[in-house]
Amino acid sequence: MRRVSYFYDAEIGNYHYGQGHPMKPHRLRMTHNLVVNYGLYRRMEVFRPPRVSPATMTRFHSDDYINFLRVITPDNMQDYIRRLQRFNVGEDCPVFDGLFEFCQLYTSGSMGGAIRLNEDQADAVINWAGGMHHAKKAEASGFCYVNDCVLAILELLKNNKHHRVLYIDIGIHHGDGVEEAFYTTNRVMTVSFHKHGDCFPGTGDILDTGHAEGKGYAVNFPLNDGMDDDSYKSIFRPIIGKAVEVFAPDAVVLQCGADSLSGDRLGCFNLSIKGHADCVEFVKSFNLPTLILGGGGSTLRNVPRCWAYETAVVLGEENTIKDELPFNDYFEYFGPDLRLHLPVSNMENLNSPQELEQKKIQLLEGLREIEPVPGTAQIQTGQVESQLNPRGINMEVVDEAGTEEDMADTHPDARVTNLMLGHKEHPSDMY
C-alpha cells in the first residue's frame, strides 16, 4: 500500500487577496472539508507543517525580495511605492493582511513534503496549498509570491538525496517560474502543457527547450482553447512516458493547477475532473516518490471537487467514493448538482488531431536526443548569478552553510489529530 502524507494548515483559508480577486485561498478549506467528509484522511498521515524560515526561502529568492514581503502591509504600502513596482506587487499580486504568513504556510507544506520524500517516510505527499509556479527570484507574478515548487525541488536535490527531479505542470498557464529557475541544468526536467498565445504569461513556446547544460530539459507543449479529455490524454501519456524513460527521474513534482478544468473563470480548456485526474493516475503508475501540489483554479465550486477526487486517486480510492457529495460545511457552494463530477461544456476544441500529433512527434524527437540518465553534478543556489544563465537565476555553486539549520524547524514530525475534524490548533499544541 502506498504511504501518503497530506499537509494542511487550517489557517490557510483565512487569507484574502481582496474583493473580486480570482485567487481565493478559501478553496483550500473547502477541499480539506471534502477530504475529511469523504473519509480520505483515514488513509493518510495528516500534518500541519511548522512554518519555514525566511532564510530558507532565500535558497531561491533574493534577500531583499523576501525582506520586502516580510515588512509590506496594507498600512505601510505608501512608504514602499518604488519597491512595489520593482517586485511587481500590486494588482495581480496585491498586498493583503498576513501576506508573508500566507507564503510561509503554502511553502512549508511543499518543503515539508520534500523532506518526507527525502527521508523515505512517504511514497507520495499532497500539498494542495502549494503549486505557486509563477514567482521569480525577485518578482511576484500571476498571484504567486514565493515559488514553493522551486524550493521543494531544491530540497529534493539537496545532498543528492535525489539526483534528478521531473517537474510536470498541468495547469492552463505555463509553469514559467519553475522552468526559468532550472533552465540551465540537466538535473531538473520541466514539462508544461499549457495554453499558449494570448494567455498569461505568454511564455512556453515549443522551441523553448533550455540552455547550456539544460538544453533539451525544458519541454513545452503549447495548446489552444477547448482542450478535451481524449486530446489531453493522447499527448500527456506519450510525452511523460518518454520523459520518464530517458530522464530516469528519482522523484516527481506534479503541479495540478485546476484552471485547466472546464468552466474555469480564467481558463479556456474543457477538461473534466476525471480527465484532469487521469494525469495524476498516470504519474502515479511509475511508483516514483511524488510531490503533488495545487496551483491555479478560480471557479470556487470546481477546484475542491477536483483536488478531493485526485486525493482519492493518489490513495487508490477513486472507485469507492460516491459521486453524490457527502454533507459538508460548504454544501451550498456545490449546488444545485451536489455531485462530485460535472459535465463539461460544448465548447469547440481548437486543437486539431493533426496539429497535436505534429507537436507530439516534435517533442518526442527532442526527448530522444537528450543524454540518457544525465550526470549529477551538484546544484546549489545562493547569491552568485551564473554568467551562463541568460535569465539571471542563481545556479552557481556557492557556500550553503547553515541551510540544514534553516530547515530544522520544518520537519513534519507530529501527527495532526484534531485537524482532521477541522479543528484549529495553535502550533504549540502539536508538540
pLDDT number for residue 371: 84
Which 3 state secondary structure label does DSSP give 14? helix
111 confidence band (pLDDT: 50, 70, 90): very high
pLDDT above 60 for 425: no
Is pLDDT above 50 for 180?
Answer: yes
Under a CB-based contact definition with an 8 Å cutoff, are residues 333 and 302 in contact?
A: no
Query: Does 380 have pLDDT greater than 70?
Result: no
Q: What is the mean pLDDT of residues 7-34?
A: 96
Sorting pLDDT into bands at 50, 70 and 90, what band is 100? very high
Catalytic residue among 32, 61, 133, 134: 134
Q: How deeply is 67 buried, as exposed, middle or buried, from its count of CB atoms within 10 A (0-12, 13-18, 19+)?
A: middle
Q: Whole-number mean pLDDT of the chain?
A: 88
Cell of 227: 482542450
The rounded percent of the chain whose pLDDT value lies above 90 is: 83
Q: Residue 407: pLDDT band by 50, 70, 90 thresholds?
A: very low
pLDDT at 64: 97
Per-residue model confidence (pLDDT) at position 378: 56
Domains of the chain: 4-430 (3.40.800.20)
Q: How confident is the model at residue 107 (pLDDT cuts 50, 70, 90)?
A: very high
pLDDT at 373: 79
Q: What is the mean pLDDT of residues 76-86?
A: 96
3-state secondary structure 178-239: HHHHCCCCCCEEEEEEEECCCCCCCCCCCCCCCCHHHCCCEEEEEECCCCCHHHHHHHHHHH
Neighbouring C-alpha atoms within 13 Å toward the C-beta of 60: 25
What's the pLDDT at 374? 80
Say whether 196 is catalytic: no
| pLDDT interval class at 384 (50, 70, 90) | very low
What pLDDT does 331 receive? 95
pLDDT digits (tens, 9 = 90+) for 347-363: 999 999 999 999 999 99
* Three cell numbers, residue 107: 511553502
The 10s digit of each residue's pLDDT in 145-158 is 999 999 999 999 99
Are 255 and 266 within 8 A, CB to CB? no
Average pLDDT over residues 248-277: 96
Cell of 129: 496549498
Tell whether the model's pLDDT for residue 189 goes beyond 90. yes
**pLDDT value of position 28:** 98
Burial class (CB in 10 A: 0-12, 13-18, 19+), 406: middle
> SS3 for 7?
strand
